Structure 1
Amino acid sequence: MKELRVLLLGGTTEARQLAGLLVADGHTVISSLAGRTSDPLRPAGEMRVGGFGGVDGLAGYLRDERIDVLVDATHPFAATITRHAVEASRASGVPRMVVRRPGWTAAPGDEWHRVASLAEAAAQLPARGRRVFLTTGRQEIAAFAAVDECWFLARSVEPPTGPAPRCLSVVLNRGPFTVEGERQLMTGHRIDVLVTKDSGGPDAKLAAARSLRIPVLMVDRPPAPPGTILTSPGEALAALRRLSHRYA
């Protein structure tokens, strides 16, 4: 088995788990984080923070660092870096893999209203509710800045910047969260609609909304990148082991 040099586009739980598995398997892993939080959870192996300078910069990095495989394990809504990964892989000849957690599926008792964008979600307020729990991330709060008829509770790891709704309260917290904790948060703030993105993963807030009969505005994911989608760190590790044996 050949030791691989892996560039892991990360920032997600799955990326951190995969980095740990690969380092334990004897591979060199460089995790690349966007730098949107000042105190990110550090993955195993090497870490770099910040952009590459577009497609050309990423392709050049892959060549200069003698990367054997590029793994895109970014957030399902990180459309720009995913597009750059596709194009840089083609330009450099470095193979690419994609790791994406599965999206959420509505369960009995859910009242979900799927929308194609944050702008569409904002347009459906206040008809869906006036006290909004906004869990779309701090950089997306600006999409709701013009919705003056609603009161918003937003949760993020760091304080939001930029335009924001007139009536906004912010909770700074990092998951994982529990269903009971989410229930208490929603009932304590008299939430009557939840706005979130179809990120997949732990769904305590969705379970809490279901139990409280709170409707959900669910923002759909952007189109998936081309190629096979691996849905877990374990699947990705197995695929990379097969690649390593081919290189040996």
Structure 2
Amino acid sequence: MRDCPRLFISPETTDPMGTGALLDLEPGQAHYLGTVLRQQAGAAVALFNARDGEWQGVIDHLRRDRCRIRLAARTRAPMATRGLGLLFAPLKRDATETVIRMGTELGVTHFRPVVSERTNTHRINAARLESIAVEAAEQCERLDVPTIDPLADLPVVLSRWPEDTSLFAALERSATPAVPVVARAGDCVLIGPEGGFSPREHDMLRARPFVRPLSLGHLVLRADTAAAAALALVGAGLKAL
């Protein structure tokens, strides 16, 4: 099973999976199996989503952009990822895609792109980022795919923030002490844009009772590197169930 292709099946467009059921793949998935991976009828495929868990299946029919999978048995029960949310300022295209990919692998449950004063780009390609999140989930063997919220202004997001959810903000170039991190699943991490947060944003963040200033060390990191470092640091401090 570990060596066979692994594909995400949207629970919004398919019936629940079950032993012996036949499931038709999306044309892009059929093309990927047949043309890119050169799979044939009888080959094993793993299908998954958060609703149904992971299932072992066999290619029943494959031709061009059409593929039908016969489900054999469930190999993993449904289980949601116990992770963090990530707020980040959109970066240049490749860097933003890197944040989505690494964040998915590090257990991010939802991404919230935000516009700060020094944000360089005010546009995101939602469909492209969702596709990258799906690919990363398929690769890292998680069962769910993180959600990606529409772009929003940082002050607006902060004004609506739930007081019982901690927001760990990586505040570079500030006197933020390195302290042990204790987080809960559902808490969030905030990463600024290239150039960091403005002085006014530093003051705004420090004034919020739910914000937990976070130190990533004495070096100034690239924004995408900072996202991975902060997620690893805060994620390591997640409380056990």
With structure 1 as the length reference, what TM-score do the two structures score?
0.35
**Larger helix percent:** 1
Choose between structure 1 and 2 for higher RCO, CA contacts under 8 A separated by at least 6 residues: 1
